Each structure stands twice: as C-alpha cells, then as structure tokens.
Homo-oligomer: A and B are copies of this chain.
Amino acid sequence: CELFSMYSELFSVYYELFILIKYVDDHQEEYVQTLREWVAVESDSSDVTKRAELYRMMDMVGEKLRKMGGKVELVDIGEEQLPDGSSLALPKVVTAQFGSDVNKPTVCVYGHVDVQPAQKEDGWATEPYNLTEINGNLYGRGASDNKAPVLAWIHAVEAFKALDMDLPVNVKYLIEGMEETGSNGLDAMIKSQKSTFFSDVDYIIISDCGWLSKRPALTYGTRGNCYFFAEVEGPKQDLHSGVYGGTVIEPMTDLIGILDTLISPSGTILIPGIRDAVAPFSDEEWKMYQDIEFDVESYREKIGVEQLMYNNKVELLAHRWRHPTVSIHGINGAFSAPGTKTVIPAKVTGKFSIRQVPDMDPAVVEKQVTDHLHSVFAKRKSPNKLKVKMIIGAKPWLADIKHSLYEAGKAAVKRVFNVDADMIREGGTIPIARTFQDVTEKSIIMLPIGGFDDGLHSQNEKMIFNVLNPGFMY
C-alpha cells in the first residue's frame, strides 16, 4: 500500500510534467510570435527619441501578465535629467505576483525589456527589429538580451495557469526598461519597496546572461561598469579644415591624445592606481577555472581575430571575468559617416568604459580616471576645455557558490540536461544583482537562458529556437 501510494505520487508528478512539457511544445509558435511582437518594439533605452517605444514596451509587458491573471502594477520611478536640462519620464517598472501561499517559498524573477541600439547599416544581415528565423536561430535586437529569457519565465507560469495546475512556488516578476543604460531609477524603487514587494521574496532569479559553452552553466559573478564621457571643447562651431587648419589646436587632436593614455598596446590599463584594489587570484580559483569547459581556439575563431590577448584558458577567462579592462567605444561630435568631410569638429566626446571587479569601488575609479585625464590634458597646454564625467557607475557582483540556491540550480541543470553545470562569471555587468544583494539581502542566482554565441550588443543578435532537442526530455 505504501509502495502503491509512492508510485501513484511519482506517476502523478511525472504525468503533470508530461502534460506541462506537451503544452509548452504545442505552443511554441505562439511563444515565437509573442517574441516577434516584443522585438518589433524599438525599446532602445539609450536613445531618448525612442522613449515612446519604451513606454509602449512596458505597457505590453504589463498587459501580458495581467491577461495571465497576475496582480500587476506599473510602478512610476520618476524622471531622468537630460544633458540639455530638460527631463523625461523613465519607463515604468512592471511588477507582478502569481500566488501568495505562505507555505510556499516566493521566487522573484528579474528581467529587462529595453535593448541596445541597432541599425541595419551597422552590419545586420536582417532587419534588427524584425525577428527572423534562419537555421533554427531567431535573429533580432533584444532577442537574447533580454526579451526571450523574460518571456521564457512568463510562459512557464502561463503554462501552469492554462493547465490550471498548482504553482510549486509563489512567483513574482520585476521587469524594467532602463537596464542597458544603467537601470536609472530602479535602485530607488527597490529600496522603497524593500518592506512591501520584497518582504516575502525568498529568492531572486536573473536570466540576463548566457552559457559559456554548449554546457549549461550557473553564473555567480559579474563585472561592474564605469562608463565615462571625456568631452573636449574648442571652437564655437565646426570649422573647415582647409580654411582654419593650422591656426587652432583641434579638440580631436587633444581627445585622441588623452584617450591614448588609457591602455597599452598589449591591454594593460595605464591609469595610475586603478589595478591596486583588484582582489588577488587565488589558487582555488585557478583550479576551478581549469575545470571549466571552454575552448580557447574556438573562442578565438568565433571572434575572428588572429590572436587573443591571452592564449591560455585560465588567464583568458580571468581577464574576461575578474580583471578590469578599458574599452574605447567611440567619439560623439566628430565626423562618423562614410565619405570625406573636411571638418575640424568643435566639440568631441570620447566614450570609454572600465569593467571593474571586486574589490574596486566606482567612486574611487571615477576619481582616478578624472584625475589622470586632467593631468595628461594639462601637460598638453591646450587652450581647449576638458570635462570628464562618469555616466554609469555600476558595481560588480559576486555570489557564494556554496549557497543552497546554487545547490538547487546545479540539481536542476543535472536533472534537465544530465550534466554538471559549469560555474561561471560574467564579463558584462548586471548592476541590479548587486543592488538586490545590498538592499533586499535576499539570495540571488543567475540562471542563463541565452546561448553562448548570441551576439549580445552586437550585430545579428539571436536566440536559439530550441535550446533542447524537443525529444530530449520525453
């Protein structure tokens, strides 16, 4: 009798699982269609002229969750100040709740639906805002970062609701629209809802990252991001380089000169003091890195360079995840189009960022960078004016991989994929992870859904159509 009851329970669990998986498979086209509608919204949070699209995106998220029967709120998080002195409403944050059973744990899924800029001319093979399937991949801006993962978590709950199945946990959602530009307004919102929305949350899940290889992974750390604008201003307006060239010290010459002092040809950061705070690389870490599934040669091939900055796996991963780096993104105000404009740009803004790691502090980085640039600029004795400003100062994040949440994550990966998850870090920044940790004091896990070659922030971003072979789990 005991045996019968056990088998019966097991059967019921597996039957429920079977029904659930069948439902998901049967609704695949619908899921893709929803993703297509979401990708079609140009929710580029870095471009203020696209703000209306971003508002519309948040409304669509709210509507989707409301239709599923969730308790949905669109939370006003205030305004942002634009450089011209005007202000602009931030996109509302969507919160939703499914279930409030005090006997169940409560899981909160965080995600974002804003995207990086994208234009066909940047080198996309397809229209970036028109989700296009090619060879089992779905191409579109935001497909992987982060619209499909957000929808995956939403559709999971939707399946339970549609089948009238009991959710094993209470589920909450927190979906924002400013992640790509530093989650403006979200920190304050999280702080203000610490004792309301977050009071019954036990665990926070973030799927705004990707696997490292074809092996499933759990992510336990991210780098921070200090994004700088260095503006050099000279003449009142752009000048003809023939008519005026040779009579003015050009802002571009100054800007190029100071940007050239940030990093050595081999990749060493040259800003004094900046590497002092970096946590030492322990032997234990070294060993762990060695076990990670990662092929340096195929990484090199995928990127398409003749040589990487480091040739061995451990050093390369360490410089990707737990050492700081400087990237110069571009210059605003200079001539950037095709053709041969003969202009002396009057005001140019160099944009670069430093990915910082534990135990660096953004406030200290800001001072080190600002001091350094003003010091090298002063040596030039230029009549032009330099302004240095840190636009984003997002902290790194690091979790304890021995926490029960990671144990649960490892077990889940093992059950679904039948392999051990790689324990990885993320070179990119998910600033909100750090905020969740600092403010709510809840445990956080990053559970990547995006593939390892999704091209985040790049041309031809995509989401794989089927992470799993459809037959895999039957």
Residues of chain A whose beta carbon lies under 8 Å from any beta carbon of chain B = 46-48, 116-117, 122-123, 181-182, 210, 223, 225, 227, 234-250, 252-254, 256-257, 259-260, 263, 265-267, 299, 303-310, 316, 319-320, 323-332, 334-345, 351, 353, 355, 379-384, 391-392, 426-429, 455-460
Determine whether the beta carbon of B380 is less than 8 Å from that of A351: no
Complex contacts, A460 vs chain B, CB 8 Å: 237
CB closest residue in chain B, given A223: B242
Complex contacts, A332 vs chain B, CB 8 Å: 335-338
Determine whether the beta carbon of A334 is less than 8 Å from that of B340: no
Determine whether the beta carbon of A47 is less than 8 Å from that of B329: no
Evaluate whether A330 and B308 lie within 8 angstroms (CB atoms) in the complex, with A245-B355, A429-B242 already known.
no
CA distance A345 to B352 in the complex (A): 12
Complex contacts, A259 vs chain B, CB 8 Å: 256, 260
Most interface-central of A227, A320, A457 (chain B CB within 10 A):
A457
CA distance A147 to B268 in the complex (A): 52
A181-B339, A244-B303 provided; 19 other pairs, C-beta below 8 A?
Answer: A46-B341, A182-B340, A237-B458, A242-B426, A243-B320, A243-B427, A246-B320, A246-B323, A246-B427, A250-B327, A252-B327, A253-B328, A254-B265, A265-B380, A307-B383, A330-B345, A340-B391, A340-B392, A341-B351
Most interface-central of A123, A240, A384 (chain B CB within 10 A):
A240
CA distance A240 to B456 in the complex (A): 6
Evaluate whether A426 and B340 lie within 8 angstroms (CB atoms) in the complex, with A265-B381, A328-B256, A383-B305 already known.
no
Complex contacts, A304 vs chain B, CB 8 Å: 235-237
Complex contacts, A117 vs chain B, CB 8 Å: 337, 339, 341
CA distance A456 to B344 in the complex (A): 11
Evaluate whether A235 and B265 lie within 8 angstroms (CB atoms) in the complex, with A240-B428, A245-B355, A331-B331 already known.
no
CA distance A210 to B243 in the complex (A): 10
Evaluate whether A334 and B335 lie within 8 angstroms (CB atoms) in the complex, with A237-B455, A458-B239 already known.
no
Q: Can you list 22 A-B pairs, Cβ within 8 angstroms, ordered by A?
A: A181-B339, A225-B342, A239-B303, A241-B457, A242-B427, A242-B428, A243-B426, A243-B456, A244-B320, A247-B310, A248-B305, A249-B267, A249-B305, A257-B265, A327-B343, A327-B344, A329-B345, A330-B334, A330-B345, A336-B336, A340-B392, A343-B458
Determine whether the beta carbon of B238 is less than 8 Å from that of A458: yes
Most interface-central of A330, A344, A381, A428 (chain B CB within 10 A):
A330
Determine whether the beta carbon of B309 is less than 8 Å from that of A246: yes
Partner of A351, one of B246, B248, B335: B335
CB closest residue in chain B, given A296: B247
CA distance A252 to B267 in the complex (A): 12
CA distance A219 to B271 in the complex (A): 49
Determine whether the beta carbon of B338 is less than 8 Å from that of A47: yes
Complex contacts, A456 vs chain B, CB 8 Å: 240, 243
Chain B: minimal CB distance from A82 (Å) = 10
Determine whether the beta carbon of A341 is less than 8 Å from that of B457: yes
Determine whether the beta carbon of B330 is less than 8 Å from that of A238: no
